[in-house]
Amino acid sequence: MNPGTEPSFRDSVDIMFNRAVALMDLSPGLEEKIRVCNATYTVRFGVRLRGGIQTFTGYRSVHSEHMEPVKGGIRYSPGVNQNEVEALAALMTYKCALVEAPFGGSKGGLCIDPRDYDEHELELITRRFAYELIKRDMINPAQNVPAPDMGTGEREMAWIADQYKRMNTTDINGVACVTGKPINAGGIHGRTEYTEELKTFIADKASNSQRFLAMLARNALNRTPPLGFFRTFVMEESGKQAKTFNLKRRGTAPVSDLIRVHALACGSRAQNTFNRLKAIGQTKLIPEDGVDNLRDAFEFIAIVRIRHQALSIEAGREPDNNVRPEDLSPFERSHLKDAFQVVGQAQKFLKFRYNPQATRNV
């Protein structure tokens, strides 16, 4: 992690890990061995689509093989990168260890927006990605077993399982190369309504637990909007991102975090920011004008972020979330400051309502 910059997702996971192991008596070198990812495989492959060849980038990270097979989902998202899959693979290891599930941690991802492709195209892409992973034993019922994640589901798992069986015709356990398959593709029977029951249970418990809400509020206040006392932008001071501010980490993410706390407090089971805001407004937890201001601020920051990424792609640069103020129009600069001010005020209300300071020593 570069000094003066916000920690990446991977850095954040390591920070939490370091806090935990500081309370343990581990033998020399073991702490480092547990923390690092064993391997991350990056694949770039081409698929013939729409009269041409499109190249895609995918990842499969294995954090720990202390128990096999390793487990972890495969996600499809334009924002997938090595840092993200390594962080998620590490979290998978820790989650399995905490609940004593006999698996190591892994994670995979494909840098793609699945909404940009029809079903046939997605099948071609998925099978090609699976082919690259299978031939390197990054998908194997005894070694590495993926599952659905963001942007994937039963359909993609069925394609991957079928591709594995085509390439390993003598493996009698081939259908076990992935979990999350539909019943007709070798999946197991179960009660899918358990997920909804769990959501209801958590929503009921969370809304009645002030301590839990206070801890979530404390976490939501870790990221503040990049606006100074005199309405000047607060930018990174050093490193590769010097003289920029991050529109995701310090813009849309803080809004999503604080809205999530309020939504849980009012017992909402909504799954996205706008639906949560609607639920919050209906319960009058936040005044109506406050809900409208938060929605407008969130939308404007998101629009500026998307426009910045689109311009980066047009210029042949890798899209990111880091913006230089001089690259923004006067209109964008002025209204971003207004939006960040709204976020800052919403965080002050969050701090007042849930008293996160009371959890400081928890």
Active site (catalytic) residues: 107
Distance CA 147, CA 95 (A): 15
Q: Please provide residue 326's backbone torsions phi and psi, each rounded to the nearest 5 degrees.
A: -70, -15
Give the residue among 84, 88, 92, 41 at the shortest CA–CA distance from 65.
92
In the beta sheet, which residues pair with residue 76?
110
Could you tell me which residues are beta bridge partners of residue 62?
Answer: 39, 106
DSSP 62-95: E---SSSSEEEEEEEETT--HHHHHHHHHHHHHH
Q: Is the peptide bond before 69 cis (omega within 30 degrees of 0)?
A: yes
- Residue 215, classed as helix, strand or coil, is helix
Q: Which H/E stretch holds residue 147?
A: strand 144-148
Q: In what order do the strands lie in the sheet with 144-148?
A: 39-49, 52-62, 104-111, 70-77, 144-148
**Residue appearing with tokens 């972020």:** 305
- What is the identity of the amino acid at 177? C
For 62, residues 6+ apart whose C-beta sits below 8 A from its C-beta are: 37, 38, 39, 40, 70, 89, 104, 105, 106, 138, 144
Tokens of 251: 């813009």
